[in-house]
A and B are shown apart, each in its own frame.
Chain A
Amino acid sequence: MSVLLQNQGYADERLRVVTKRLPCREAQASTLLALMGEPEQHSYPSIFIYGHTATGKSHVTQTLLRELELPHAVVSCVECVSSGLLFEQVLLAFFSSSLTLPRSPCLSDFVRLYRQLCAQLPATQTRYIVLDRAELLRDMDANLLPGFLRLQELVEDNVTVILLSEIVWDKFRPNTGCFEPLLLHFPNYSKAELQEILAQDSHPSYSPELYSSYINILLGVFYSVCRDLRELRHLAALNFPKFCEPLETGEAKEKDTHKLWRNIEPHLKRAMQTVYLRDVSSVQWEQQQQTEERETGGLKGLSAHDHVELPYYSKFLLIAAYLASYNPARTDRRFFLKHHGKIKKTNFMKKHEKTSNHLLGPKPFPLDRLLAIFYSVVDSRVAPTASVFSQISSLVTLQLLSQVSHDDQLDAPKYKCAVSLDFIRAIARTVSFDIVRYLYDFL
């Protein structure tokens, strides 16, 4: 399974250590190492490594560079709000220089300083600049990415720029083209590989086999949704105590895999709804697990659903807005008028088989229509006072409604409802209003 990395320029002992640190990434590591070559040799000006999150891009590159003690600078582009920070980190890592960059430096300054320092401290080995999350470089100065790609030529030094990203190279290429980097792909870990890696952090007080079977169950639930190693590891660590519960109380032995599975499976499914979506924090989840036996009530997460408290009329305003957004205006007569004259029965009942508004999204509506619907749904008589209008604008502030028209249209502002069906159902339930009966899509 584990093929030892080979390279002339490095001691075998060191390569063995590196191989050990990079489980299941032997092929990628050896390709990268072969491209880098021996430390004194020249390397390709720029290498672009892409692959999904947590496929070991940064890990492999950094481990190689660190363990083989090559001169390198690792910069995460997320941290670099300005290009100056980026330049500073690179220069500091290579030359640990006290020579300061000018204020808000441009690429030209960087290259000039680099050349100056490089003349004092010429490279004996290839220098590597690793730019993590390189997709963010696109949002910085337009000349930065093409500049870094051909940095070797610009500074005339033995330097290689390694870009790491999860977005394909095609999305990076500038309009007039640029120096093309070498492309390397890091594929995902396969299911077996994930199993192997996750099984490594087994709990000391249980046998590795037990942990491995636990990982198997976990992957069975989550693998079809998530292949992110980091996320899976988090979920595994969080749910393991629950898995071991029957063992501790003595209800089951390590061999009763079926029993253990039945115990944990619903639990994992619930974790998918909460932990995976980050609806609850890890601490909350652990607390819930402890108190679960006593309280059978539903999980209260971080989501807005369960926390929004609105004034009585605001609720009705929101309901009215929802109805106005999702019902066609021509159906208002039929929903809200008690005596709606004589309409042909057939026409009345017939619903056009069109794509429903719940697929297309909310439509804008004028203020008049909102108020008209509001008066007909609210059960008491409300005067159109300033309080009602101010409630509308506070709904806009809460971003439950959004104003579509420009602010300068004071006479007939238009709005859109910006809440989901589930949300409005929960709201309607609190004022015992059956909203589904009034929705055209659900007739």
Chain B
Amino acid sequence: MRHSLEPGARRTRGVPGCTAIIIRKRSQNLNCLHVFPLQEWKSLEILAHIKTRKQAAVTMSKRKAKDSHLTVGDCVSQAQRLLRDRFCRQQLPAGPAGVEPQHKHLLELLRRTAVHGESNSVLIVGPRGAGKTMLLNCVLKELLEDSEVKKNVLLVQLNGLLQTDDRVALKEITRQLQLENVVGDKVFGSFAENLAFLLEALKKGDRSSSRPVLFILDEFDLFAHHKNQTLLYNLFDISQSAQTPVAVVGLTCRLDVLELLEKRVKSRFSHRQIHLLSPLGFERYLHCVRQQLSLPPDVPERRFSQEWNASVEALCEDKMAEAALKKHFNSSKDFRSLHMLLMLALSRVTVSNPTIRPADLLEASRLCTADAKANIVHGLSILELCLIIAMKHLNDIYDGEPFNFQMVHNEFKKFIQRKSHSVHNFEKPVVIKAFEHLQQLELIRSVDGSSATKTQKEYQLMKLLLGHGQIMEALQKYPQCPTDVKQWAVSSFG
């Protein structure tokens, strides 16, 4: 147990006297208090902003409903606005649907840090779109509703995508703790001094009298790639010794994230993990769809919203739409991809088509599941298509061995001589240009990248990145495909 020095003793040390006061809540030094105003959590502000906006919309529509009727256009645009906010901004739901136990666990954990000054570390693990951030934000929202806590807690949010190394991360931490004026580039230049200062500041406190700090590390696995994992080591080290109370919350989609940590880092981690592997059934999924799409009764107008909700109900009952949803559900259960689907369906709602119909959903699902490679193949010229067929034959004959341009050209020439009526012979350079276009589209890839510069381009070994089935399927739908080319593709020997 290390205890911080008495305040008086601290001040006598001379060096920026406020080091430890930063996180002291009951500091006697009044001068220092106003230097560090409360860290405002920005997303909370936004939440509040949304709330007021929503309320404003509600009151507005109420008032309008009394005065006059909104036109269909206004209704549609208001409904669009509301639903778009839901699908695109990842607005927080009222409660954590389906993850209540995890929610309770995390809330309890963070509350202990915030109120009782206990240090903790936890990882939230779950696949992309499983609702990790949603869960955390819900918990934080609830936690910070308590004004005592809100006044007390400092929040630091880092993202592995943004803070790509420890130096940047450290800068960001200082910034978020609003210590720049103390640190300043002039006083401390180097990374080491900066780190030492922060650590000192965090270590100085003890658990009874320091302001707790919550560290949120989004994309946690990326932090593990930082050199020596200095940041993680220090954070975890503080979290498991009786210094300033900190809670380190990591969010990651990698199940094997612990393997990435060095031994010394791992041993300091509490090994607390919260898994979000939602066992969502199709019934629940359908329920979510309904919930996500439905409008509140008075927004934008009673009659419109009733009609809308009825149409949503009808949509979920519809057999075809249900099949499409089932297909989508089977490919991925997460909310992100559902939002994408619903967003596509929603975008088809216009004034002339003011409700959401099953046809819209089917179209959206078609767009979502379209095979991108087949789409690209459909846009190729006949010559390029012939080359792909030649490659397919080579793959069949040589059992997937890589090939070079010369072999493909040979195969193509054989076809021209023997069977072709519709395709003429092309000069070799023209064929090479077509071949290079395929490479540019990444439909074929050179096998060894490094030696590619040494060999002639005709003899570079290539691999086809399309499957047999994909080619045949794409060929079936190719617009105005000559019959002889089609037959050549089907025939078993080139």
Contacts and interface: CB of A to CB of B under 8 A. Distances in A.
B430 A176 contact: no
A38 B376 contact: no
Given A34-B348, A107-B164, A185-B370, A45 B88 contact: yes
Given A152-B89, A180-B336, A187 B382 contact: no
Interface stretch (A14-22, A197-205, A224-232): A224-232
A51 B379 contact: yes
A50 B423 CA distance: 28
A443 B380 CA distance: 38
A168 B372 contact: yes
B433 interface: yes
A146 B161 contact: yes
Nearest to A166: B441
A415 B53 CA distance: 75
Residue of B168, B376, B430, B442 ringed by the most chain A CB atoms within 10 A: B376
B351 A50 contact: no
Contact of A168 (B46, B348, B376, B427): B376
A213 B432 CA distance: 30
Residue of B84, B88, B163, B175 ringed by the most chain A CB atoms within 10 A: B88
B239 to A, nearest CB: 24
Interface string A336-375: 0000000000000000000100111110000000000000
Contact of B433 (A38, A106, A276): A276
Contacts of A34: 347-348, 350
B383 A225 contact: yes
Contact of A111 (B162, B337, B372, B456): B162
B229 to A, nearest CB: 17
Given A188-B379, A272-B430, A361 B161 contact: no
Nearest to A48: B372
B253 interface: yes
Contacts of A45: 88
A147 B85 contact: no
A227 B381 contact: yes
Contacts of A185: 370, 372, 375
Interface in B391-429: 404, 406-407, 410, 423-424, 426-427, 429
A273 B426 CA distance: 9
Contacts of A246: none
Given A171-B442, A183-B372, A359-B410, A190 B336 contact: no
Contact of B164 (A141, A178, A187, A224): A141
Given A107-B164, A143-B162, A276-B430, A418 B456 contact: yes
B459 A360 contact: yes
Contact of A42 (B89, B128, B368, B373): B89
A174 B168 CA distance: 22
Given A38-B80, A156-B46, A359-B410, A43 B379 contact: no
B472 interface: no
Contacts of B372: 50, 168-170, 183, 185
A177 B130 CA distance: 13
B172 interface: yes
Contact of A358 (B367, B376, B406, B434): B406
A31 B344 CA distance: 9
Contacts of A187: 375, 378-379
Contacts of B276: none
A124 interface: no
A276 B456 CA distance: 22
B333 interface: no
Interface in A178-230: 178-180, 182-185, 187-188, 190-191, 223-227
B455 interface: yes
Interface string B289-305: 00000000000000000
A329 interface: no
A273 B430 contact: yes
A168 to B, nearest CB: 4
A125 interface: no
A177 B332 CA distance: 14
A428 interface: no
B449 interface: no
Nearest to B344: A182
Nearest to A188: B379
Nearest to A224: B382
A360 B479 CA distance: 34
A108 interface: yes
Contacts, number: 180
A292 interface: no
A361 B426 contact: no
Nearest to B433: A277
Q: Is the interface of B mostly helix, strand, loop or mixed?
A: helix
B370 A108 contact: no
A321 B175 CA distance: 67
A171 B442 CA distance: 8
Interface string B442-465: 100000000000111011000000
A170 B370 contact: no
A438 B16 CA distance: 87
A361 B459 contact: yes
A167 B253 contact: no
B379 A6 contact: no
B38 interface: no
Given A8-B77, A9-B77, A420-B456, A183 B84 contact: no
Interface string B304-322: 0000000000000000000
A40 interface: yes
A41 interface: yes
B222 interface: yes
A44 interface: yes
B340 interface: yes
B457 to A, nearest CB: 10
A84 interface: no
A35 interface: yes
B88 A154 contact: no
A242 interface: no
Interface in A272-304: 272-273, 276-277, 279
A325 B204 CA distance: 75
B87 interface: yes
Contacts of A184: 367
Interface in B250-272: 253-254
B347 A31 contact: yes
A45 B77 CA distance: 19
A76 interface: no
Contacts of B76: 8
B81 interface: yes
Contacts of A361: 404, 406, 455-456, 458-459
A55 interface: yes
Given A272-B430, A361-B458, A35 B81 contact: no
B305 to A, nearest CB: 18
B380 to A, nearest CB: 8
A153 B90 contact: yes
Interface in B147-164: 159-164
A273 B161 CA distance: 49
A425 interface: no
A46 B434 CA distance: 32
A225 B434 contact: yes
B249 interface: no
A360 B348 CA distance: 54
Contacts of B46: 156
25 contacts: A6-B351, A8-B350, A31-B347, A34-B347, A34-B350, A41-B80, A41-B81, A42-B84, A42-B89, A44-B343, A106-B162, A107-B162, A107-B164, A108-B163, A143-B162, A147-B162, A152-B88, A168-B375, A170-B373, A224-B382, A276-B433, A277-B429, A277-B430, A359-B404, A416-B455
Given A35-B344, A147-B161, A178-B128, 4 more contacts: A50-B376, A108-B164, A146-B161, A176-B253
